[in-house]
Structure 1
Amino acid sequence: MHVPDGFINAPVSVATGAVAAVAVAVSLRGARRELAGAGAGGVAGAERTAPLAGLVAAFIFAVQMLNFPVAAGTSGHLLGGALAAILVGPYTGVLCVSVVLLMQGVLFADGGLTALGVNITDMAIVTTVVAYALFRGLVKVLPRRRRSITVASFVAALVSVPAAAVAFTGLYALGGTADVPIGKVFTAMVGVHVLIGIGEATITALTVGAVIAVRPDLVYGARGLTKPLELRTSPLATPADEPVPADEPAPAAAPASAAPAPVAPRRSVRRVWLAGVAAALVCAGGISYYASASPDGLEKVAHDQGIDAKAEDHAAKDSPLADYSVKDITDPRLAGGLAGIIGVGATLAVGTGVFVVLRRRRNTGADGRPATGAERPSENV
């Protein structure tokens, strides 16, 4: 659903650019809390969000290359807002998808540069807000089980895609450059994107379910699902405030060098991170070659309804990576796979850099000095 240059007029493009800028600024503040755990009440797993946020952006980039057929001559691809919000939080999710859209527009000429505000508003903000709001509502009414998280993920992702189609139709009604009946645009966009939403929901539910199966503590939307570790004393132990009978010897005092009570071990996210990077590289570098070559939902509707009448060439159309293919490499499999790998690496680097900086700023007090005590979140990277 990447909107090219020329679909939306300048005033609406500028307005959506301002909306996107404000939303990103708000998300930067909210993401600091999510990355540090403050936004989730300091529950277990909060401190592990930062290492995974950049990976989520890279994974979304990779899976977006896997267009799947949804109807005759039409394909769809993951939008990723629901997946990002559920895995790393809604504010961080907005930033993840925004990073993906920025990399796609600048490096791969996918989505217009003048339409970047439109795309962030539609694909990052609308999908994330709608999906996470619906997800949280479902989690509250469903049984507190891991399967409920997967079911809620499926429904939230399914609804988020036609919601983005409705948002695009609204933006086109305000600033469309071609004289097209809005009713026809609405019907066509929502109809095809309901089908695309089924694919989005399947990918989202499978991914969230896979992470929950191995590390539920890493899923933002599943926090609080599992009970924290409780240390219990033996029932044979004598309470400290109960007097010892006179005919019984007093218990021996614990030696000063006694070992402290056991605590929950810190579990590294390295294996999950490496598995996620490997999956992203396989999707972008290999499986993407077999993706559907049919136009996606927006491209198909734009062609059929005449929305693309005033479409403009992308400013980065001569980029060495334009159209997800490395320039001057004649083998399409190699050119596309190498472009995908470069894209995953670039998105991972930029995304991780953004979230690491945010986390470090959260760990620093207002005076620029490191936070101490209750101000500093726990570390477990």
Structure 2
Amino acid sequence: MHVPDGFINAPVSVAAGVVAAAAVAVSLRGARRELDERTAPLAGLVAAFIFAVQMLNFPVAAGTSGHLLGGALAAILVGPYTGVLCVSVVLLMQGILFADGGLTALGVNVTVMGVVTVVVAYAIFRGLLGLLPPTRRSVTAAAFTGALLSVPAAAAVFTLVYAIGGTTDVPIGKVFTAMVGVHVLIGIGEALITAATVGAVIAVRPDLVHGARGLASPLKLRVDGALVDVPAAAAAPLAAGAGSTKKVWVTGLVTALVLAGFVSFYASANPDGLEKVAADKGIDQKVEEHAAANSPLADYSVKDVDDARLSGGLAGVIGVGVTVVAGTGIFWAVRRRRTEDLTATSASTSVSAG
């Protein structure tokens, strides 16, 4: 659903940019409360994973494909504020390096693909968890539902933005019907990917899933054939190994590299939901060439590499690498700022007490 340059007029693009900038600013402050020494590097990994999976377009209808938006997945894994930042990092890398999503439309894309998907998905997710039993299965089911509904919600908001600032005079009712209809189907794919990923992480490290916090079971030992709770003092050393995220991080990074570097070659070549609706309904009549169209990585291929498989694979690997480095750097900086704030607060409290 990457909106290109020329779909939305300048005033509305600027307004969307202001909304997106405000959302990112709020998210930077909110992410300080969500990130710690374990989740900061994982947030960069989540951004890289979303980048990789977005390269895997899957067929959803005749001549149409879809791909992960990622807002629901990021919000549930690392928190809603950090989730907005994850998607924003991905969109920025895609726009600058790969000419995917217009630079003048970056605010629209962050608002629609980042803010809307995160807010809708996480609100539904938390609401369902309040009604369902506090189990890991409930987390996975709530993740599925939140992800499913977040995609048509994003399509509806795009249609609203186009109704206000679209550059082509087309029947908005028909655009709305087409956009929401095809993105309901794409939402099913989004839900399956999100639920599968969240379920996989919960199975090995539920403590690393932001949306599953509070569901961890106490450690147990088998004594004379019966399972008994481990006392807190004894449980601490047993759980010490759970503090390391290295294995999860390496596994996730390797998975992202394989998906982007190899599996992406087999992705559907059909236009995605927005591209298909734009062509069918005529909202792409004033689309503009991307400012980074001559980038060495434009269209997810490496310039001057003739072999399509190798070119696309190298572009995917580079994209994952750049995204994980940029994302991890940003999230570590946010985490460090939180530490500095806590230190300053502690020092101030000590001085006052003295």
TM-score by length of 1: 0.85
Which digits, 9 at most, give the CA deviation of each residue in 1:147-176, with x for residues without a partner?
Answer: 111100100000000000000000000000
Match of 1:354 among 307, 330, 337: 330
How many Å separate the matches in 2 of 1:191 and 1:369? 52
Question: Which of these residues, 288, 305, 310, is aligned with residue 286 of structure 2?
Answer: 310
Give the equivalent residue in structure 2 for 1:135. Answer: 125
Residues 219 and 235, structure 2, Cα contact 8 Å, conserved in 1: no
Structure 2 residue aligned with 1:363: 339
C-alpha contact (below 8 Å) 2:112/2:154 kept by paired residues:
yes
Residue 172 of structure 1 corresponds to 162
Task: Tell me if structure 2 keeps the 8 A contact 1:154–1:201.
Answer: yes
Q: Counterpart of 2:302 in 1: which secondary structure?
A: coil
Paired residue total: 336
Partner of 1:146: 136
Q: Give the 3-state SS of the residue equivalent to 1:363 in structure 2.
A: helix
Q: How far apart are residue 226 of structure 1 and its match?
A: 1.7
Cα drift, residue 48 of structure 1: 2.2
Work out the percentage of aligned pairs sharing the same amino acid.
75
Aligned residue in 2 for 1:265: 240
Q: Partners in 2 of 1:279 and 1:230 — Cα distance? A: 32
Instruction: State the distance in 2 between where 1:228 and 1:138 align.
Output: 24
Taking structure 2 as the reference length, what is the TM-score of the superposition? 0.92
Whole-angstrom CA distance in 1 between matches of 2:141 and 2:234: 38
After TM superposition, give the deviation of residue 228 of structure 1 in Å: 5.2
Which residue in 1 is equivalent to 2:63? 73
Quick one: distance in 2 between partners of 1:288 and 1:176?
A: 32
Between the aligned partners of 2:28 and 2:40, the Cα distance in structure 1 is: 13
Q: State the Cα deviation string for residues 273-310 of structure 1 (Å, max 9, x = none).
A: 00000000000000000000000000000000000000
3-state SS of paired residue (2:322):
helix
CA contact (8 A) 2:72 2:146 kept: yes
1:294 maps to which residue?
Answer: 270
Mapped pair 1:87 → 2:68:
no
- 1:265: how far off? 1.6
Query: 1:281 maps to which residue?
Result: 257
For 2:117 and 2:52, the matched residues in 1 are separated by 18
Residues 50-98 of structure 1: CA deviation (Å, up to 9, x unaligned): 1200000000000000000000100000000000000000000000000
Change (3 A) 1:17 1:52: same
Give the Cα–Cα distance (whole angstroms) in 2 for the partners of residues 61 and 192 of structure 1. Answer: 22
Supply the AA of the counterpart residue of 1:286. Answer: F
Aligned to 2:2, the other structure's residue is in SS state coil
Whole-Å Cα distance in 1 between the matches of residues 152 and 261 of structure 2?
Answer: 29
TM-fit CA distance, 1:107: 0.1
SS of equivalent residue, structure 1 residue 336: helix
> Which one of the candidate residues 278, 297, 320 is aligned to 2:296?
320
CA distance in 1, matches of 2:346, 2:331: 18
- Shift in alpha-carbon separation, 1:358–1:230, aligned structure 2, 3 A: farther
Q: Distance in 1 between matches of 2:247 and 2:295?
A: 35
Mapping 1:38-53, distance limit 5 Å: 47-53=37-43
Among 190, 200, 207, the alignment partner of 1:210 is 200
Give the corresponding residue for 2:111.
121
CA deviation string 1:105-157 (max 9, x = no partner): 00000000000000000000000000000000001101111111110010000
SS of the aligned residue for 2:103 comes to coil
One-letter code aligned to 2:82: T
Contact 1:363 1:370 (C-alpha < 8 Å) held by counterparts: no
Which residue pairs with 1:31 in the alignment? Answer: 31
Secondary structure of the 1:295 match is coil
SS of equivalent residue, structure 2 residue 35: helix
Question: Is the helix fraction higher in 1 or 2?
Answer: 2
Q: Distance in 1 between matches of 2:17 and 2:265?
A: 33
1:5 corresponds in structure 2 to 5
Instruction: Find the partner of 2:100 among 89, 105, 110.
Output: 110
Instruction: Return the alpha-carbon distance in structure 2 between the equivalents of residues 103 and 180 of structure 1.
Output: 31
Provide the rounded CA distance (Å) in 2 between the counterparts of 1:318 and 1:35. 37
TM-superposed deviation, 1:205: 0.4
* Structure 2 unaligned regions, length at least 5: 222-232
State the superposition RMSD in angstroms: 1.9
SS of equivalent to 2:294: coil
SS in 2 for 1:337: helix
Amino acid at match of 1:14: V
The reply on whether 1:97 has 2:92 as its aligned counterpart is: no
Secondary structure of 2:197 counterpart: helix
Q: Match for 1:31: what amino acid?
A: A
| Partner amino acid, structure 2, of 1:69 | P
1: CA distance, partners of 2:154 / 2:235: 49
Specify the alignment match of 1:248 in structure 2: none
AA aligned to 1:213 is: A
Is the Cα–Cα contact under 8 Å of residues 363 and 371 in structure 1 kept in the other structure? no
Distance in 1 between residues matched to 2:170 and 2:183, nearest whole Å: 19
Residue 261 of structure 1, CA deviation: 5.7
Q: Please state if 1:337 is matched with 2:313.
A: yes
Q: 2: CA distance between counterparts of 1:21 and 1:137?
A: 27
Distance 1:185 1:53 in 2: 35
